[in-house]
Amino acid sequence: MKPALLSLAVLASFTTGSLNEAQAQASARTYAISGDCDGEPATTVRMAPGLCLGLVWQGAGAEGPRMPRGLMQLADGAWLVTDLGGWEAGRGAVWRLWFAADGAARWRRLAGGLSMPHTVARGPDGRIYVSEMNRILTLDPEAADPAASVRTVIGDLPDNRLHDNRHPLSSFVFDGNGDLLVNVGAPSDRCLDAAGKPKTDARGACVEDAATAQVRRHAYLGNGRWAEDSTVFASGLRNSIALVRHPSGTVLQAENSVDLTTPEHPFDEVNVLRQGGHYGWPYCVDLQTPLPGWPARQARCGERDRPVALLPPHAAPLDMIYYEGAMFPELRGRLLMTWHGYRRTAGRITAVETDERGVPLTDVGGRYAVYPRGSLAYPAGAPSVKGKVLTPGWDRVAGRQPRGSPVVMAVAADGSIWVTDDRSRAILRIARP
């Protein structure tokens, strides 16, 4: 009997240790409160002058999303929130968020069992559309049973699994004619085999380049229907989660570049997409520099489309929106970007100046900030985005705040900027102090 009792005691110690570790991790992700931010509890995150970051909601129990990603406000002031749920199929959901008279957040799960849902947006027909890992669906949040209203709009997107496919998430934007532009991420980091050699076809091109690492166009057929077959809009794009269309027709993509171990290289990118363009993956990075593992003769970087601007290395941009709200007149027309990555350049929201077509204005010889302090230079002669960081102090501060993990932004009816933080299971709001 004693050995059994000893085993139970050891098990109990392991369990207690695991619980204590889990509690410590949860505590490290909790936002402390330091006053008021336009009616919301103010976080301690240091913001650009004239701004504050309020905590709308942070999950701690079973209610609400586990990994909030997409955001969209409804006409009645409630919000739709997509919940990645985890990096496994079938754990995602779409939630409705509203607030009681006392300001407390209330949640209703509208649809569950989804596979890594991300984008939520209103289509040209007024319906609500959501991207899952392997399909685009529509649902009616006002239906008596929203789950029963779920209908597949575009199926047969790559049915990826994390680690089998490095970039499993789908996202989309609507073009001016209603067409759907859909991200299909690259299944690997650099299209290399286990020996570090390029995986090529008979033409010497990456074997993954023909059907993935692209933005596809699905033609709009009207009345909530799109062509199941697609054409390639742009290719050579490792991960196009961050897509945005300007009213002028410009389509921008923010590229999460490859995962080299060096913290200062390669740089992420902003690309202006054009029909038929190829933007370099997996052959080239930065301003047409051959990627390690791909010889210059195979990379042919001079034939690829150059980025319009570089972003800090490993910033991991996940969202872009053009701000046209009333609360911040100084930001109108600017391109807001989230930098989600876990390295020293990320944990930031930026506001980029643009021209009349929505294309980012650039600087040459610029610098970018790094945590915990300081800055580094962009490559000599390289264009970098021109603008300012709205959240300069979103680094981890023990006992006060986690490193920011901003994912998706949405402009509320009052002009405030809402943002999801999936690692800390939080929804935050940028407003006036």
Question: Residues 357-380: pLDDT tens digits?
Answer: 999 999 998 999 999 999 999 999
Residue 201 and residue 118 share a domain: yes
**DSSP 3-state of 387:** strand
Between the alpha carbon of residue 24 and those of residues 202, 258, 278, 402, the distances in Å are 53, 32, 46, 12
User: Band of the pLDDT at 9, cuts 50, 70, 90?
Assistant: very low
- Which residue range forms the structural domain that includes residue 2? 1-30
User: Band of the pLDDT at 6, cuts 50, 70, 90?
Assistant: very low
Residue 68 and residue 16 share a domain: no
Instruction: Please write the tens of the pLDDT for every residue from 201-215.
Output: 988 889 888 889 999
Residue 193 and residue 94 share a domain: yes
Residue 351 and residue 279 share a domain: yes
Is residue 172's pLDDT more than 70?
yes
Q: Which amino acid is at 60?
A: A
Give me the number of domains the chain comprises: 2
**What's the mean per-residue pLDDT of the chain?**
91
Residue 121 and residue 242 share a domain: yes
Q: Pick the closest to residue 391 from 419, 357, 354, 360 (CA basis).
A: 419
Residue 13 and residue 154 share a domain: no
User: CB–CB of 213/253 below 8 Å?
Assistant: no
DSSP character for 148?
A: G
Instruction: Take residue 50 and report the two structure tokens written for it.
Output: 């004239």
Is residue 17's pLDDT more than 60?
no
Residue 19 and residue 129 share a domain: no
- What residues are paired with 277 via a beta bridge? 234
DSSP character for 304?
A: S
Beta-carbon count within 10 A of 248 CB: 11
Residue 151 and residue 134 share a domain: yes
Provide the CATH number for the domain around residue 359.
2.120.10.30
Instruction: Take residue 112 and report the two structure tokens written for it.
Output: 């569950």
Instruction: Please write the tens of the pLDDT for every residue from 254-304.
Output: 999 998 888 899 999 999 999 999 999 999 999 889 998 898 988 899 999
Residue 276 and residue 408 share a domain: yes
Beta-carbon count within 10 A of 228 CB: 13
Residue 200 and residue 238 share a domain: yes
Beta-carbon count within 10 A of 400 CB: 14
Residue 135 and residue 18 share a domain: no
The residue assigned the tokens 């057929």 is: 221
User: CB–CB of 345/370 below 8 Å?
Assistant: yes
What is the model's pLDDT at position 19?
47
Q: What is the mean pLDDT of residues 87-110?
A: 94
Residue 369 and residue 253 share a domain: yes
What is the model's pLDDT at position 168?
82
In sequence order, which residues have a C-beta less than 8 Å from that of residue 111 and are 6 or more positions away? Answer: 93, 94, 139, 146, 147, 150
Task: Give this prediction's pTM.
Answer: 0.92
What is the model's pLDDT at position 269?
97
